[in-house]
Structure 1
Amino acid sequence: MEGDTYPGPGSATQFDSKVLQTFQKSFLQVQNILDQNRVLINEINQNHESRIPDNLSRNVGLIRELNNNIRRVVDLYADLSSSFTKSMEASSDGDSAGTTKSDGKLGQKRVRPG
């Protein structure tokens, strides 16, 4: 179609795919840690309710593990935020460069509603 724009050299499609894979991997890691935390919290609650001294002592280690997991989740979200910011900056840098029209002329990239 006349006037349609196509990505110019250095298309962001491959870049977007890598960013998406990174996000999916990070979100999977976060979900796994949150699942572990659910198990830890249940065990901590059961130990607390039992009031058995050995179980209560075990809670100290379980709570430390829970706190470490929470730190890992915070770090993963910080990394995700940084990656997202970098990808948005790279995306906006690419958008400002223009695109190549089907007739070979440079033009503005047309944004189509999702």
Structure 2
Amino acid sequence: MEEERLPGIGDGATQVDSKVLQSLQKSFLQVQSILDQNRLLINEINQNHESKIPENLSRNVGLIRELNNNIQRVVGLYDDLSLSFSKSMEASPERDTKRKLNQKRARPGQ
């Protein structure tokens, strides 16, 4: 199975399975898309607020709910990302090797 390196993580030698990397990339793209949508929602909310037109102000209630739901979706995606990344790091052969070395060094009485 092909592996890729992620720069800037740990000592730079951490290897991550390409499927995990693709999954992370997909999640980050989803997050970015939602954040872009939130930017548009916030702009519209601000315009409606500044207009002080009753219909626009009423519309803000729904826009703010949509914004809140989007924020909850982003939090969920980041939770999933964190869990997925943690699992991939725990499964890394390099981590297993380091863990075994640390266990050997930590033996009491030696």
TM over 0.5: yes
Give ranges in structure 1 of 5+ residues lacking alignment: 1-10, 98-107, 109-114
Q: Share of identical aligned residues, percent?
A: 76
- Structure 2 letter corresponding to 1:68: N
Please report the RMSD computed on the Cα atoms of aligned residues, expressed in angstroms: 2.2
Secondary structure at 2:91 match in 1: helix
Quote how far apart the aligned CAs of 1:13 are. 2.3
Aligned pairs for 1:50-61 within 5 A: 50-61=51-62
Between structure 1 and structure 2, the one with the greater Rg is: 1
Shift of 1:23: 0.5
CA distance in structure 1 between the aligned counterparts of 2:47 and 2:74, rounded to whole angstroms: 24
> Highest relative contact order (Cα 8 Å, sep 6+), 1 or 2?
1
2: CA distance, partners of 1:29 / 1:13: 23
Deviations 1:33-90 (A, max 9, x none): 0000000000000000000000000000000000000000000000000001000100
The TM-score with structure 2 as length reference comes to: 0.73
The answer for unaligned runs of 5 or more in structure 2 is 5-15, 102-110
Q: Separation in 2 of the partners of 1:70 and 1:63?
A: 10
If each structure's helix is expressed as a fraction of its own residues, which one has the higher value?
Answer: 2
Residues 86 and 12 of structure 1: is their aligned pair in 2 closer, same or farther, counting only changes over 3 Å? farther
What is the CA–CA distance in structure 2 between the aligned matches of 1:13 and 1:63, rounded to whole Å? 42
- Aligned pairs, number: 87
